[in-house]
Chain A
Amino acid sequence: LAKTTQPISMDSYEGQEVNITCSHNNIATNDYITWYQQFPSQGPRFIIQGYKTKVTNEVASLFIPADRKSSTLSLPRVSLSDTAVYYCLVLYNFNKFYFGSGTKLNVKP
């Protein structure tokens, strides 16, 4: 049974870089990792996805080490509006979806 774990919560200050890690087991080389952001009373919103070592877009970076037992979402220079819950989603074999338990990020001024 796939198990995906994340820290329950994290605190940060405006302007800092935040790294949120998701631990997962048995991930193959072509299994995708996706990160979502969720605000209260809203559906999750896509941030970034990938299956290779490093992926970067205009809002975040995704790092997957060689052993593929974890992945890290990196948010550069967070602001107050980044306060939200962040979920990793592991897609195994293109047909098994497992969400992590979510990390509540609190950005302070």
Chain B
Amino acid sequence: DSGVTQTPKHLITATGQRVTLRCSPRSGDLSVYWYQQSLDQGLQFLIQYYNGEERAKGNILERFSAQQFPDLHSELNLSSLELGDSALYFCASSVGQGVTEAFFGQGTRLTVV
């Protein structure tokens, strides 16, 4: 158990819908990262937050957004969903903002039908 909690574990939704994925980081970790893992694209970095502020941005679509709340949990919002958004979405957390020793959650498997 990494200490990072992601909910829900599975999500099935229709095209055009909007979903929210939730992540609770390890106790004491200030950074939260979101990654997408799909068969054709592999692991892709989406976005990082540190202590409530956006710190780094990767290949995140404009239809996607994220935020980190004062209690340090984070949410990833995916809207206008397309079939190609079906993937595993991982959240990871770390103590620092530039350190890459991150601990990953079990992921949320999103299926868009």
Q: Which residues of A contact B (CB under 8 A)?
A: 32, 34, 36, 41-46, 49, 87, 89, 91, 94-102
Shortest beta-carbon distance, B11 to chain A, in Å? 15
Is A101 within 8 A of B103, CB to CB?
no
Contacts A49-B100, A91-B98, A101-B42 given; does A43 touch B92 at CB 8 Å: yes
A-B pair number, CB within 8 angstroms: 56
Q: Are B90 and A44 in contact (CB under 8 A)?
A: yes
**Closest chain B residue, CB of each to CB of A34:** B100
Which residue from A46, A87, A89, A102 sits with its C-beta under 8 Å from B103?
Answer: A46
| Binary per-residue interface labels of chain B (60-81) against chain A in the complex, 1 for a CB within 8 Å, 0 otherwise | 0000000000000000000000
Q: How far is the CB of A89 from chain B (nearest CB, A)?
A: 6
A43-B92, A102-B42 known; A94-B105 Cβ under 8 A: no
For residue B110, CB closer than 8 A to chain A, the reply is no
Q: What size tier do the contact residues of chain B reach? A: 20 to 34
* Consensus secondary structure, chain B interface: strand
Interface positions of B (Cβ within 8 A of A): 2, 4, 33, 35, 42-45, 48, 55-56, 58, 90, 92, 97-98, 100-107
Provide the residues of chain A in CB contact with B98, threshold 8 Å. 91, 94-95
Overall SS of chain A's interface: strand
Q: Which residue of A lies closest to B90 (CB)?
A: A43
* B residues less than 8 Å from A95 (CB atoms): 48, 55-56, 98
